[in-house]
């Protein structure tokens, strides 16, 4: 047996704060109901920021005085260049995320109607 009733709930809207557009790691995309994009931005930003920070920490611990032996100079220079490139990539992707979030931002989004106590609603049921 299937029972279906009409829904007569008024439209409800949820506000979306503009400030979330400026938070990195896909927060703006998540607020704009774009979970795939949010995950992509979060993963890329975490990878680039994490790589840059990990290299910086490694070099600070390995050479606390900032003095690099000549034998390590080539390797350290490559690490420093990688650190700078991944750090710049983080800021570039974060800026792209902000621009994308602002482009797709809506001040409010319609929320699915919720059942009202004593009001009409939609329900489905069946038995075997």
**What pLDDT digit, counting tens, does each position of 54-108 carry?**
999 999 999 988 899 999 999 999 999 999 999 999 999 999 999 999 999 888 7
- Going by C-alpha positions, the residue among 25, 32, 1, 34 that lies closest to residue 109 is 32
The Cα 29–Cα 97 span in angstroms is 8
The Cα 22–Cα 24 span in angstroms is 6
For 13-58, how does the pLDDT look when each residue is reduced to its tens digit (9 = 90+)? 778 888 889 999 999 999 888 999 999 999 999 999 999 999 999 9
Helix axes 73-103, 35-62, angle to 10 degrees: 160
Higher pLDDT, 18 or 117: 18
For the chain, give every domain's residue range: 1-16+112-128, 21-105
């Amino acid at each position: 047996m299937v029972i279906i009733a009409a829904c007569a709930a008024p439209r409800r809207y949820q506000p979306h704060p503009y400030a979330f557009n400026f938070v990195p790691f896909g927060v703006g995309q998540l607020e704009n109901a774009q979970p795939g994009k949010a995950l992509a931005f979060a993963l890329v930003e975490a990878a680039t920021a994490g790589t840059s920070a990990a290299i910086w920490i490694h070099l600070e611990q390995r050479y606390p005085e900032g003095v690099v032996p000549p034998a390590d100079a080539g390797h350290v220079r490559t690490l420093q260049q990688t650190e700078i490139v991944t750090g710049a990539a983080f800021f570039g992707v974060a800026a792209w995320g902000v621009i994308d979030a602002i482009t797709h931002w809506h001040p409010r989004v319609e929320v699915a109607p919720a059942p009202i106590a004593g009001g009409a609603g939609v329900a489905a049921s069946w038995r075997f």
